[in-house]
Amino acid sequence: MPEASADKVERWGIFELELEGEAGGNPFVDVTFQARFSHGHRNVGVNGFYDGDGLYRIRFMPDVPGEWTYETQSNCEALDGRSGSFVCVAPGAGNHGPVRVEDTYHFAYADGTPYYQVGTTCYAWVHQGDELEEQTLATLREAPFNKLRTCVFPKRYAFNENEPVYYPFERGADGGWDFARFAPEFFRHFEKRVGQLMGLGIEADLILFHPYDGGHWGFDRMSAEEDDRYLRYVIARLAAYRNVWWSLANEYDIMGTKSMADWDRFFRILCEEDPHQHLRSVHNCRTFYDHGKPWVTHCSIQSGTDNVAAWRDAYRKPVVVDECCYEGNIEHGWGNISAQELVRRFWIGTVKGGYVGHGETYLHPQDVLWWSKGGVLHGESPARIAFLRKLLEGGPPRGLDPVRWRPHWDMWGAGKGDDYYLFYFGERQPAEYTFEPPGENEYRVEIIDTWEMTVTPLEGTFTGRFKIELPGRSFTAVRMQKA
Amino acid sequence: MPEASADKVERWGIFELELEGEAGGNPFVDVTFQARFSHGHRNVGVNGFYDGDGLYRIRFMPDVPGEWTYETQSNCEALDGRSGSFVCVAPGAGNHGPVRVEDTYHFAYADGTPYYQVGTTCYAWVHQGDELEEQTLATLREAPFNKLRTCVFPKRYAFNENEPVYYPFERGADGGWDFARFAPEFFRHFEKRVGQLMGLGIEADLILFHPYDGGHWGFDRMSAEEDDRYLRYVIARLAAYRNVWWSLANEYDIMGTKSMADWDRFFRILCEEDPHQHLRSVHNCRTFYDHGKPWVTHCSIQSGTDNVAAWRDAYRKPVVVDECCYEGNIEHGWGNISAQELVRRFWIGTVKGGYVGHGETYLHPQDVLWWSKGGVLHGESPARIAFLRKLLEGGPPRGLDPVRWRPHWDMWGAGKGDDYYLFYFGERQPAEYTFEPPGENEYRVEIIDTWEMTVTPLEGTFTGRFKIELPGRSFTAVRMQKA
C-alpha cells in the first residue's frame, strides 16, 4: 500500500515518512518501527522514532540518485508493511553531501569537494532561547567556521548557571525525569538548529554525552539501558541530516559515571544504527581514548597543537584539535590565551598536517561567552582564521601533509608532493632563510604575514638551494607553488 | 728568604708573586713550580705558571683576612724555597668575593650578598681586537648582565670567519701549533679582559673547550696530555680572579674528539687544581651531561625554560639555562626568537626557580653579532631583563622557589616561604584571577607588566581566598608580599 509522500528528494537531502500509530502506553519503549529503503539491489535498514501525539517518523538521506522504495516493519499494525517510493534527484546548490575521511588524514564531502575543517565551539547555544540562538546563527553566517561543536544535553558549569528552555525528557509522576519518555519538543527544536547549520554549510559535531551536569539534572548518570535508548533515539532523529558528526562525549575521561566498556558500546551502537555512517569521535580531557580503534573515524583532541604530526603517525587518521585553549580572558587556563597564540596554534596544527578548532571565552556581564552560549564574537582570531581557511581552500584539494625535509628544527612546513609547500615560522623572526626543496621544480614564492593577513609575492622563480629575505617579524609564513 | 711583594692584598683580591727562573728548554713542560700559602693552621697549595721571558708567576686569592705566608717549591733552584708574607685586608667597594652555591638552588657571593644570575653570551669577544672589545666592555657597563659566557679558544663558525688577534699557542718549526708552548701574550690579553669584567661586577663563565674549530686550528683535537696541560695552565693563570666560573665546554656533546671519560677527567683536574674551587659546569647541545655528578656545582643548560622546576628536582642544584635561544633574526633556530619570547622564557625560568641567560643574534653587515663578537646591543629584551633583575634584587635574598599551590595549570609562581610570591601568566591574558595562599598572611599585591615594565599596586591588603582584577593582557605578573 504505497503512501503519499515527497516524491522527489535531493541527493543527501532528507526523505521523511510520517505515520499515525499507537499513542497509548509508552510508545518510546513499546513500539518497534523500522523501514527498509531499497535502491536496485541495495537495501538500507533505518529506525524510525516516536514524535509524540501519536505521530511516528522515519528519516532517510538517499545517497544515490534514482528511484528508491521503502517498506516499514513494526509491532504496531498501523505502522507495519507500509511502502512507497521516491526519486532521488541532483543535490541543490551548496549541498555536497556528508563529510567523509579522505586520503587517510583529510576530509572531503561525498561529492568530492574538499573539506578543510575550521571549527568552533558553542556547547550550549541551542539551550539559550530564540533571541540569542538566532544571534548566534547570524554570527556564524559571517564567521569563517565550517564546523560547530554542540552538546545535545544542557550544560551546568562556570558561566552556565541558567536552565535551558527545553529539556530532553518528560517529567514523571514524582516530578523527576522519566528517562524512558523523550520530549519531542526538545528534539524538534534541536533538529531545527542542526538544519539551520546545514543551511549555513556548517557541520554539526554533536556531543552526545558530557560531564557538565554533575547530577544537577542527572543526564550524566542514566543507566546503561537509558543511555543506549537515548543514543538510538538521537540517531533515529538526526542521522538523516547530512551535516551531522557524532562526538560521543566531551571530556569523556572525566565522566566518572561511565566506563571504557560503555564508550566502546556506544561506538558499536553508532556503527550499527547509523544508516549513513557519519564521522565518529570522542573528545578527551586529560587522557586520549584509543583513537586507533577501528570505529573511530578521526582523532578529536584537546591539547596544544605541537604534536599533531606524531598523532597522525600514531593513529593514521585525520587529527582534529578541537580544543587547543580558547581566545579569552577568564582565569581558567583553557580559556585565556591571546588571539595571537590561538592563531599560532591554528597554524602549527595546520603545517603539522592537522585541523584545529576555535573557541572564545571573554568575560561578559551576562555570562554570554561564545564558547558555550554563542552570541557575538569579540576576539581578533576569527579574521585570521578566515584568512587561513582561504589559503587552505586555495591549496591542494586533499590537504597538507608534513614536509619531511626542512633546513632547521625551529620551523615547520606542510605540502602535497613537491608542488606545494606552506612553511610557518611561529614566533620566530628570521630575516632570511635558505630552502632546498628536493627535485628540480621552479617555484613561485610568497611571503605571508599570518597576523596582518597579507600575501606578498617575491619576484621571479626559485629552484634548488636558494636563500630568500624575510620580514624578520614573528608569525610569518612562506608559500611555495610550482610555477 | 722573604721576597719583596705586595704587602697588603684585599680579601678576594689577587696576590701575585713574580720570580725570574729558567728560560731555556721548554719551561712550560720542564719546570715545576708551586707554592704553599698558609694562614694559621690552614695551608693551600697553588700552582704557578711560566709567563715567558724567564718570568714565573704564582697567583693567589686570599679568602680570609689576616696574615698569610707562602713558600715556593720548584725543580728550578731559582724558584725553589722562596717565601714571604702579606696581609689580607678588607675588600674594596664592589668586591663581594666569588659566587658560590647557596641554599641548594641559588647563588650568593662569598660575603653573603645575594647573586641573582642574569647572564649573557659573547663567545669570541676577546678575539676581536681592542676597538670592538672596548666597545663590548662599554656596552656591558650599561647592560643588566652580571655574568658573561666567553670562550678561551677562538671560534670558527657561521658569522665567525675572521682570525683572532692572538693565538693561545706558539707555532713550531714546521709552522704548525706547538701545543706544548703557550703564548703568554694571548693569556695576558685574555686575563686583562677577565679583570675588566671583574671591575664591572660581571662573572666570567670561561668556556674551556668548544667544538667550533672543526680542525681549522685543531684546538678541539689536542691529545689528552695536551688538553690536561692546557687546563692546568688556564687554572694556574686565572683561578685567582674571583669572578671566574669554569664551563668545561660549550655543546660538549657534539665534540666528537672527546669522550665522557675526558669530561670526567677534566672535572677532576678542576677539582684538584683550582685552589679556590670556583663554580664548575658543562653546557650541552642535545644531551645533558649528568649534572648529578658530585663535581658539577650547577646545571648549565641549553633548552627552553619550561622544565626548570623538574631539573631542580632531578639534580638538586641551581639551574642556569644559559641558552634558551637568542633574540635575533638569523635563520638558525637557536638565534631567531623575538624579544618578547626571550623575555617570556626569562620569566618562566625565574618563576620555576631557575636562572636564565641572554644572547642576541641580529644580522649585521660586518657579522658583528653580540652572541659571539660583542659590540653593541640592538634588541628590546635587555631593558626588560634589567627590569626583572631589579625585581629579583628587591625580592628574597636567597632566591625564589617554585610555589607548589596554584589555582590553575596555566600559570606559574615562585616565592620564599609564605611571605613573598611572584606569579607569571606568560602569553595568558586573564582579566581576573582567584588566589588562595595558604596561611593567614595579609598581602600587598602589585600588578606587573613585564613588557611595559610597570608595577601597579592594588589598594588595600588581601588574605585568604580572594579574586583580583588583571589587565587582560599577555605578559602580566603578580607580586604578593606580606604586608
pLDDT in tens, A351-362: 999 999 999 999
Asked whether the beta carbons of residue B431 and residue A329 sit closer than 8 angstroms, the reply is: yes
Q: Which of A325, A341, A430 comes nearest B331 by C-beta? A: A430
CATH of domain A8-89: 2.60.40.10
Q: Which of B328, B331, B409 comes nearest A433 by C-beta? A: B331
Interface residue A427 vs chain B (CB under 8 A): yes
Note the pLDDT of residue A6: 67
Which of B360, B361, B428 is the mutation pick for testing A, counting most A CBs within 10 A? B428
The C-alpha cell that represents A317 in the structure block: 587518521
DSSP one-letter string for B408-462: -TT-EEEEETTTEEEEE-TTB--SEEEE--SS---EEEEEEETTTTEEEEPSS-B
pTM of the model: 0.92
Rounded Cα gap, residues B250 and B256, in angstroms: 13
Check whether B2 has a pLDDT greater than 90.
no
Q: Which of A330, A411, A474 comes nearest B430 by C-beta? A: A330
Determine how β-strand B99-102 pairs with β-strand B33-39: unpaired
Note the pLDDT of residue A404: 81
Identify the CA nearest to B88 among candidates B101, B97, B80.
Answer: B97
Cβ pair B48, B236 in contact under 8 A: yes
Q: For chain A, where do the domains classified as CATH 2.60.40.3950 start and end?
A: 403-482
Average pLDDT over residues B222-250: 98
The better pLDDT of the pair B241, A7 is held by B241
Return contacts of B257-262, CB within 8 angstroms, 24+ apart.
Answer: B257/B220, B257/B221, B258/B209, B262/B224, B262/B227
- At which residue does the C-alpha cell 500509530 appear? A21
Cβ pair B130, B189 in contact under 8 A: no
Look over chain A and give the mean of its residue pLDDT values, rounded to a whole number: 96
The C-alpha cell that represents A454 in the structure block: 597579507
pLDDT in tens, B157-187: 999 999 999 999 999 999 999 999 999 999 9
Average pLDDT over residues B461-475: 96
Note the pLDDT of residue B404: 80
pLDDT in tens, A274-284: 999 999 999 99
Q: For chain B, where do the domains classified as CATH 2.60.40.3950 start and end?
A: 404-482
Helix axes B381-393, B339-351, angle to 10 degrees: 20
Cβ pair A60, A44 in contact under 8 A: yes
Interface residue A329 vs chain B (CB under 8 A): yes
- At which residue does the C-alpha cell 558555550 appear? A372
AA identity, residue A200 = L
Give the CA distances from residue B263 to residues A88, A134, A355, B293, B299, in Å, rounded to whole numbers and listed in that order: 78, 70, 46, 12, 15
Interface residue B468 vs chain A (CB under 8 A): no
Confidence of residue A3 (pLDDT cuts 50, 70, 90): very low
Interface residue A429 vs chain B (CB under 8 A): yes
Interface residue A364 vs chain B (CB under 8 A): no
For residue B474, list chain A residues with Cβ-Cβ distance below 8 A. 338, 340-341
Identify the CA nearest to B97 among candidates B277, B358, B357, B300.
Answer: B277
Asked whether the beta carbons of residue A429 and residue B329 sit closer than 8 angstroms, the reply is: yes
Cβ pair B414, B402 in contact under 8 A: yes
Interface residue A333 vs chain B (CB under 8 A): yes
Give the CA distances from residue B61 to residues B44, B45, B189, B291, in Å, rounded to whole numbers and listed in that order: 10, 12, 20, 27
Asked whether the beta carbons of residue A331 and residue B433 sit closer than 8 angstroms, the reply is: yes
For residue B333, list chain A residues with Cβ-Cβ distance below 8 A. 408-411, 428
- At which residue does the C-alpha cell 628536493 appear? A438
Q: Which of A333, A430, A472 comes nearest B409 by C-beta? A: A333
For residue A333, list chain B residues with Cβ-Cβ distance below 8 A. 408-411, 428
Note the pLDDT of residue A408: 65
Name the percent of chain B lying above pLDDT 90: 95
Asked whether the beta carbons of residue B429 and residue A330 sit closer than 8 angstroms, the reply is: no
Average pLDDT over residues A57-83: 97
- At which residue does the C-alpha cell 606569579 appear? B423
Interface residue A469 vs chain B (CB under 8 A): no
Which of B429, B475, B478 is the mutation pick for testing A, counting most A CBs within 10 A? B429
DSSP one-letter string for B56-100: EEEEE---SSEEEEEEEEESSGGGTT-EEEEEEE---TT----EE
pLDDT in tens, B28-48: 999 999 999 999 999 999 999
Check whether A5 has a pLDDT greater than 60.
no
Interface residue A465 vs chain B (CB under 8 A): no
Asked whether the beta carbons of residue A430 and residue B336 sit closer than 8 angstroms, the reply is: yes
Helix axes B260-273, B224-238, angle to 10 degrees: 30
Asked whether the beta carbons of residue B434 and residue A407 sit closer than 8 angstroms, the reply is: no
Confidence of residue A412 (pLDDT cuts 50, 70, 90): confident
CATH of domain A99-393: 3.20.20.80
Q: For chain A, where do the domains classified as CATH 3.20.20.80 start and end?
A: 99-393
Asked whether the beta carbons of residue A432 and residue B331 sit closer than 8 angstroms, the reply is: yes
pLDDT in tens, A88-123: 999 999 999 999 999 999 999 999 999 999 999 999
For residue A365, list chain B residues with Cβ-Cβ distance below 8 A. none
Note the pLDDT of residue B4: 43
Rounded Cα gap, residues A248 and A251, in angstroms: 10
Q: What is the fold, at CATH topology level, of the domain defined by A403-482?
A: Immunoglobulin-like (2.60.40)
Check whether A2 has a pLDDT greater than 60.
no
Note the pLDDT of residue B6: 67
Note the pLDDT of residue B407: 61
Cα distance from B434 to chain A (closest Cα, Å)? 8
Note the pLDDT of residue B3: 43
Rounded Cα gap, residues A435 and A423, in angstroms: 10
DSSP one-letter string for A107-175: EEETTS-EE--EEEE-TTGGGS-HHHHHHHHHHHHHSS-SEEEEESS---BTTB-SPPSS-SEEE-TTS
Q: For chain A, where do the domains classified as CATH 2.60.40.10 start and end?
A: 8-89
Confidence of residue A405 (pLDDT cuts 50, 70, 90): confident
Asked whether the beta carbons of residue A341 and residue B474 sit closer than 8 angstroms, the reply is: yes
For residue B429, list chain A residues with Cβ-Cβ distance below 8 A. 328-329, 336-338
Check whether B1 has a pLDDT greater than 70.
no
Name the percent of chain B lying above pLDDT 70: 98
Interface residue A453 vs chain B (CB under 8 A): no
Identify the CA nearest to B48 among candidates B78, B6, B93, B92.
Answer: B78
Note the pLDDT of residue B408: 64
pLDDT in tens, B341-365: 999 999 999 999 999 999 999 999 9
Rounded Cα gap, residues A353 and A399, in angstroms: 8
Check whether A175 has a pLDDT greater than 80.
yes
DSSP B204: E
Instruction: Encode A19-30: b = buried (16+ Cβ within 10 Å), e = exposed.
Output: bebbeeeebbee
Tell me if ipTM is over 0.90: no
Note the pLDDT of residue A307: 95
Interface residue A334 vs chain B (CB under 8 A): yes
AA identity, residue B284 = N
For residue B430, list chain A residues with Cβ-Cβ distance below 8 A. 329-331, 336
Cβ pair A65, A12 in contact under 8 A: no
Residue A377, C-beta contacts closer than 8 angstroms, at least 6 positions apart = A139, A143, A360, A370
Give the CA distances from residue B423 to residues A335, B352, B410, B434, in Å, rounded to whole numbers and listed in that order: 18, 10, 11, 12
Cβ pair B458, B445 in contact under 8 A: yes
Q: Which of B331, B363, B410 comes nearest A408 by C-beta? A: B331
Instruction: Encode B167-203: b = buried (16+ Cβ within 10 Å), e = exposed.
Output: bbbbeeeeeebbbbbbbbebbebbbebbebbbebebb
Asked whether the beta carbons of residue A410 and residue B472 sit closer than 8 angstroms, the reply is: no
Tell which CATH architecture fits domain B404-482: Sandwich (2.60)
Check whether A177 has a pLDDT greater than 60.
yes
Interface residue B306 vs chain A (CB under 8 A): no
Interface residue A304 vs chain B (CB under 8 A): no
Check whether B81 has a pLDDT greater than 90.
yes
Residue A389, C-beta contacts closer than 8 angstroms, at least 6 positions apart = A116, A118, A144, A146
Rounded Cα gap, residues A102 and B53, in angstroms: 80
